[in-house]
Structure 1
Amino acid sequence: MAVYQPPLQSMRFLVHEVLHAPAVLADAGWEDMSGDLFDDVLAQAGRIAAEVLFPLNRSGDEEGVRVEADGVRMPAGFADAYRAWREGGWNGLAGDPAYGGQGMPALLDTLVTEMVCGANLAFSIVPGLTQGAIRAIAAHAEEALKDVYLPRMISGDWTGAMALTEPHAGTDLGLLRTRAEPAADGSHRLTGQKMFISSADHDLTDNLVHLVLARLPDAPPGTRGISLFLVPKRLPDGSRNGWAVLSSEQKMGLHASPTCVVSYEGAVGWMVGQPHRGLPAMFTMMNHERLFVGIQGIGVGECAAQSALAYAREREQGRAPDGPRNPDRPADAIIHLPDVRRMVLTARALTDAGRALAAWTALWMDRAHHSGDPAVVEEAEDWAALLTPVIKAAGTDFGFEAAVLAQQVMGGHGYIRDNGVEQLVRDVRATQIYEGTNGVQALDLVQRKLTLHGGRPVARLFAAIDAAARELEAEPLTRDIAGPLRDAAERLRGTVAWLAEAGSHSPLAPAAAATDTLRLMALVTYGWMWGLMATAAARRPEGYDRAYLDGRIGLARVFANRLLPETAALELRIRSGHDSLFDPGLPADLAALDG
């Protein structure tokens, strides 16, 4: 069976011993964020995740959502769960106090979000999308719109969604056709059809807000002619707006999350931001959602890692290769089989490093939030720009890998629906696709982020890794981890230089290498996080069992010796170039390969 318990000890270790977050936040202007407050909030969130949301995960998947004449109906129990979420103030945890939020740090919100995602991925999408919509409205809307919508969205009384994709156009938003006609009162009337809208409609609240990309009558072609509009389900006078759900997509997973096709039929909307500047405004939401989706993958990875370990410790089958571990029993637990240990340890090592990288990034965002220091703001923006595509893609790729590993550990039982792990595989698969496929994230990394500001962000990364390796080397318990981390970082450093040279000759070279480059950077940054965690564990901080601290170092060693060597193969594949993909013997459209 799938199991989930909030990973509070690992979160506490990360917050206090690795990131030293309470002290860092106090220096950054969050004087009231004590360590005890951090621990208390995480414990309360963990209870909601484990006791309210996780019990609905399987039943929600089995029942699914349904579209009725007056809108979408969520599965049984979801309305009560959302009410508990809203009444507990969780939707406004990191919200602006000027609009009723609690003003807590992004780091705390990130860890709470991970627990929600680990317990019930489908449920997480409603508050997760709302947070992104809040950020876009707060950053770009006029004050009148902020005053009406932000308090209700931050409280969770209303929710948010984004409507980008159209049936004839996917990632290429420049092809969209939805029209927005100006009205005499300053609003607009939107006409068109959108699809793949997550949480487009539901019965959890009495109103929700779509942020819709559309074209004004005088819009130039392409992405330069896109504007952004706020289009609520219900208008300020309480009447129903002019849009309707045509269907809910029948998906591989996430059955408890409505992904809808919506028709806008003269729907009333208000512009957010400037005319023809909707895409930059929408990217405020999309960048938040990309981090959120990465956290979704990490959350599912946590559930998968726990489930794999629980099963492997209980399932008795065969004997350990080096002799019986429990001679009084007819068989040993499969956790003693080397290949099962490999799978369990890989799922755990990937998940914990992903959490650390997301938390590192969130803490830098917090440091910049109150800072009047331009240098701090600059560094925070560098980290966010460089690591957002890595967190999104690696968090979801490795989350999917962890779910498949858990399924494999369980063997035939992992393939059976009753045991819950196959749902993790189905649900987390979508995270690699939405909010920009992971291939798009990889292109963003190699085409923009590696060269941003003359390579300044990636130079910061190499400096941080060098510092972490020196600390590892200075401690006898962790000295052997430093070498593999340095070697992997050098492969990444060489790859960045190679991409710059190869890209100067052909744009195909970096594009062909993009996915491998992102995975290479993901492994190196995850290895860096394990270096920080191993160093912290070697200090033997109080409040943790010796076994837990030894386990942190042991997992860092597993990552260094079992996962970082993959960087060598990735470097070779990247440097092989793009020629084989476009071999003259292959037809341009590859049609001759069929048959």
Structure 2
Amino acid sequence: MPSYTPPLRDMQFVIHEVFNLAEELKPCPRHADLDADTINAVLEEGGKFAAEVTLPLNRIGDEQGCTLDPKTHEVATPEGFKEAYAKYVEGGWPSLSCDPDFGGQGLPFALNQCLYEMLNSANQAWTMYPGLSHGAYEALHAHGTPEQKKLYLTKLVSGEWTGTMCLTEPHCGTDLGLLRTKAEPQADGSYRLTGAKIFISAGEHDMAPNIVHLVLARLPDAPAGSKGISLFVVPKYHVKADGSIGERNGIHCTGLEHKMGIHGNATAQLVLEDAVGTLVGEPNKGLPAMFVMMNAARLGVGNQSLGLTEVAFQNALAYAKERIQMRSLSGPKAKDQPADPIIVHPDVRKMLLTAKAYAEGGRALAVFCTMLLDKELYHPDAKVRAESGELVALLTPIVKAFLTDNGHVATNACLQVFGGHGYIEEHGMSQFARDNRINMIYEGTNTVQSLDLLGRKVLSNNGATLKKFGKLVARLVEEEGVNEKMAEFINPIAYLGDQMTKFTTEIGFKGYQNPDEVGAAATDYLRVLGHLAFGYFWARMAQVALRQIDAGNADPFYQAKLQTARFYFARLFPETATLMRTARSGAKVLLDTDAALA
């Protein structure tokens, strides 16, 4: 079975030394008393839960999967899942960053982010159950009526009940404007929903007595397309006025998907037959309300791949140190053995360092985004709130797409380190690669994320938000531009930062003449901007490491950070040159291909 050690040292480095989270959030009344000891204690206990409770269930979940009883429509989760969830609730983990008004602990989102990273490393399929509940909490907290909040939020915050998001249908995919589920208004103010939903993660299970489904549907007089979608809360069991559970509602699981990975999570087909629900938010305004949950989910999906990248790296590193095969090209390194450990071979190190660089860069980006979320919601300065919201909106598709693409590269590279042993199930590397593969697809495919980034987040406001991120890069360049020790980290991001304006303007101009040019460039564009973000954070991490070393700190952690930063800038960051060239190649080479694709 794979092993996992929570990366507490690196989390503490990012939180305390790079971002100084406690000080950054002190202006927020909610976080005024936050200190490093509290942060460290939460991280340590969260890591123990992940490594000791959910990790041992990961392979069990992969092998057993979930089981549907077609007569009762009930789903049994794999052995140990239900008991682990009970421990999770008992430990108070669901409430970590939730509103104290509903029983939450009110701690920063960055702590929740780190908790979920560790849980995803240990067992992504299991973690999706509480993860989706947190998204349902966010949507209802932002858009629910007082009655809905009273009925559902305390139970979601405590973890007593779980939640889902029911979006797509068999004919829809990502195009939710095509959905057909209907909602008929009733005299008592409720609605009766009829339709079918597919790909509903955690859509049915035995881990909690009730499931709070958030369902997109159409009212009878709704406009066509995405402007005619409303959001409803539809519980698995009716909820009485006193909060107790009543009779079964008309929403049932009729099938479970047979999947490539995340076998331990119940990906359900749900049928609604006169299911009773209540409207969340305004009629025909369901997508903006659901986007609260979807954006949280997109950050969460990036976090899933971050977790898998970390655990795959840890296991590949351990294997590379022990597995002996061939001799080093420069001469034997383990002369007392018949062959050298494979970690001496340059290409093995390249694969390991790729995973390490993507894990540590992704961690910095993810923590930064969650720090922005706290500022957006709780900072007393309206300008800070607005700018934080703009930046996190810009970076969300990068977190989702760049981290999951990187997770695909990293988990497959780590599988490759194991050679033939990676291809068999006993070592667990296959599961990491299979589980990660869905992350590039759901919550909006990575192509959809790239279109959102380039079309909505960059070009729609003529790059204004992009320029704000560019100012962060420029500030660091100005601060360290004359520091020779930082040149290898600063020069690449300074150059790319200057190139981004011209690159973006060129794509935007071509897109104005022909919108297909945006679609043709978007995926490459996202990856370029993802590297700029990673480069910025890697430069900041190198800055801290160099200062510690110059101050006489002999902790090898800082040397390791510098070495990984050098690898990232030398071997991974240069991908941007190729990406900009392919993005500029235009739409014609893709669309003028009818003969090739006949």
TM range (shorter): over 0.9
SS of equivalent residue, structure 2 residue 237: coil
SS of equivalent residue, structure 1 residue 27: coil
Matched, 1:561 2:570: yes
| Worse-matched range after superposition: 57-66 or 21-30 | 21-30
Corresponding residue to 2:90 among 78, 82, 87: 87
SS of equivalent residue, structure 1 residue 245: strand
Matched, 1:506 2:506: no
- Alignment match, 1:397: 405
What code does the residue aligned with 2:105 have?
Q
Deviation of the 1:499 alpha carbon: 1.1
What code does the residue aligned with 1:411 have?
G
Corresponding residue to 2:314 among 298, 306, 328: 306
- Alignment match, 1:183: 186
SS of equivalent residue, structure 2 residue 238: coil
Q: Whole-Å Cα distance in 1 between the matches of residues 115 and 458 of structure 2?
A: 30
| Cα deviations by residue, 1:98-128 (Å, 9 ceiling, x for unpaired) | 0101111111111111111111000111111
- Alignment match, 2:57: 56
SS of equivalent residue, structure 2 residue 463: helix
1:485–1:564 CA contact under 8 A, matched in 2 = no
Matched, 1:270 2:273: no
Q: Whole-Å Cα distance in 1 between the matches of residues 11 and 404 of structure 2?
A: 19
- Alignment match, 2:155: 152
What code does the residue aligned with 2:32 have?
E
Deviation of the 1:546 alpha carbon: 2.4
Corresponding residue to 1:226 among 229, 232, 236: 229
Q: Whole-Å Cα distance in 2 between the matches of residues 168 and 365 of structure 1?
A: 34
What code does the residue aligned with 1:203 have?
D
SS of equivalent residue, structure 2 residue 324: coil
Q: Whole-Å Cα distance in 2 between the matches of residues 479 and 132 of structure 1?
A: 42
What code does the residue aligned with 1:498 have?
E
Stretches of structure 2 lacking an aligned partner (at least 5 in a row): 241-245
- Alignment match, 2:99: 96
- Alignment match, 1:551: 560
- Alignment match, 1:41: 42
TM-score by length of 1: 0.97
Corresponding residue to 1:327 among 321, 326, 335: 335
- Alignment match, 2:25: 25
Q: Whole-Å Cα distance in 2 between the matches of residues 451 and 577 of structure 1?
A: 17
What code does the residue aligned with 1:484 have?
P
Deviation of the 1:451 alpha carbon: 2.7
| Cα deviations by residue, 1:50-108 (Å, 9 ceiling, x for unpaired) | 01111110111101100013311000100111011111111010111001011111111
| Cα deviations by residue, 1:539-581 (Å, 9 ceiling, x for unpaired) | 2189975211011111111111111111110111111111111
2:27–2:380 CA contact under 8 A, matched in 1 = no
SS of equivalent residue, structure 1 residue 67: strand
Deviation of the 1:452 alpha carbon: 4.5
What code does the residue aligned with 2:569 have?
A
Q: Whole-Å Cα distance in 2 between the matches of residues 371 and 507 of structure 1?
A: 38
Alignment of 1:176-215 (within 5 A): 176-215=179-218
Deviation of the 1:485 alpha carbon: 2.2
- Pairwise CA RMSD of aligned residues? 1.5
- Alignment match, 1:496: 504
1:136–1:281 CA contact under 8 A, matched in 2 = yes
Matched, 1:13 2:13: yes
Q: Whole-Å Cα distance in 2 between the matches of residues 543 and 304 of structure 1?
A: 33
2:96–2:112 CA contact under 8 A, matched in 1 = yes
Number of positions where the alignment pairs a residue of Structure 1 with one of Structure 2: 589
Corresponding residue to 2:471 among 463, 467, 485: 463
Deviation of the 1:142 alpha carbon: 0.8
Q: Whole-Å Cα distance in 2 between the matches of residues 371 and 423 of structure 1?
A: 41
SS of equivalent residue, structure 1 residue 372: coil
1:469–1:531 CA contact under 8 A, matched in 2 = no
Distance 1:329 1:23, change over 3 A: same
What code does the residue aligned with 1:568 have?
A
Alignment of 1:112-151 (within 5 A): 112-151=115-154
Deviation of the 1:323 alpha carbon: 1.4
Stretches of structure 1 lacking an aligned partner (at least 5 in a row): none
What code does the residue aligned with 2:580 have?
E
Q: Whole-Å Cα distance in 1 between the matches of residues 553 and 116 of structure 2?
A: 24
Q: Whole-Å Cα distance in 1 between the matches of residues 533 and 376 of structure 2?
A: 21
Q: Whole-Å Cα distance in 1 between the matches of residues 536 and 555 of structure 2?
A: 23
What code does the residue aligned with 1:571 have?
M
Q: Whole-Å Cα distance in 1 between the matches of residues 172 and 554 of structure 2?
A: 54
Q: Whole-Å Cα distance in 1 between the matches of residues 459 and 576 of structure 2?
A: 21
Q: Whole-Å Cα distance in 2 between the matches of residues 37 and 453 of structure 1?
A: 40
What code does the residue aligned with 1:7 have?
P
SS of equivalent residue, structure 2 residue 247: coil
- Alignment match, 2:171: 168
What code does the residue aligned with 1:162 have?
M
Deviation of the 1:472 alpha carbon: 4.2
SS of equivalent residue, structure 2 residue 104: coil
TM-score by length of 2: 0.96
- Alignment match, 2:588: 579
2:493–2:536 CA contact under 8 A, matched in 1 = yes
Deviation of the 1:471 alpha carbon: 4.0
Q: Whole-Å Cα distance in 1 between the matches of residues 552 and 316 of structure 2?
A: 27
Q: Whole-Å Cα distance in 2 between the matches of residues 369 and 228 of structure 1?
A: 23
1:228–1:272 CA contact under 8 A, matched in 2 = yes
Q: Whole-Å Cα distance in 2 between the matches of residues 208 and 287 of structure 1?
A: 21
Q: Whole-Å Cα distance in 2 between the matches of residues 400 and 121 of structure 1?
A: 15
- Alignment match, 1:436: 444
Q: Whole-Å Cα distance in 1 between the matches of residues 580 and 508 of structure 2?
A: 14
- Alignment match, 1:345: 353
SS of equivalent residue, structure 1 residue 197: strand
Corresponding residue to 1:285 among 277, 288, 293: 293
